Amino acid sequence: MADIFIKEKRSQIMSSISGKDTKPEMIIRKALFSEGYRYRLHRKDLPGKPDIVFPSKNKVIFINGCFWHGHNCKKAALPATNKSFWEKKLTGNKERDKRNLAKLKAIGWKSLVIWQCQIKKNTLEAQINKIKAFLEK
């Protein structure tokens, strides 16, 4: 299917997508805060600028968008136009994510990745329990 926007408009739309304070991130943060957890956000001194940081536990959580981080689900389908650009872009994003996770591990931090598609009303409690188990072990 062809894009319904001209190239300049599509570029403007894509550049306005925020990398911080996304809806999935806000859902998880609100749930963790209501459970009594306190955390820091987007620490620039850590590889990958993790979304949620628990400094006293040396643990971080990344809340990844399925499309931008190349998850294996239907939300991560490649656009039909300009496929070579998107394949290169998303492959680069996945490689960068792997490097950042390895760097975090090397400096003594444990990390957990939560995917956008895993955050739904009927599965939110399960995700929060997964995070709590991660933080408490």
- Domain-wise residue ranges, the chain: 19-136
Question: What is the full DSSP assignment across 99-123?
Answer: HHHHHHHHTT-EEEEEEGGG--TTT
Q: What is the mean pLDDT of residues 37-41?
A: 96
| Entry pTM | 0.84
Beta strands (DSSP E) in the chain are 40-41, 52-54, 59-64, 110-115
For residue 35, what pLDDT is reported? 94
Q: Which residues pair with 115 in a beta bridge?
A: 64
Instruction: For helices 23-34 and 124-136, give the axis angle rounded to 10 degrees.
Output: 60
Distance separating alpha carbons of residues 10 and 74, to the nearest angstrom: 21
Q: Which CATH architecture has domain 19-136?
A: 3-Layer(aba) Sandwich (3.40)
The pLDDT mean for the chain works out to 89
Please answer whether residues 68 and 77 qualify as being in contact, where contact means their C-beta atoms are separated by less than 8 angstroms. Answer: no
- With bands split at pLDDT 50, 70 and 90, how would you rate the model's confidence at 13? low
Provide mean pLDDT across the span 102-106.
Answer: 98
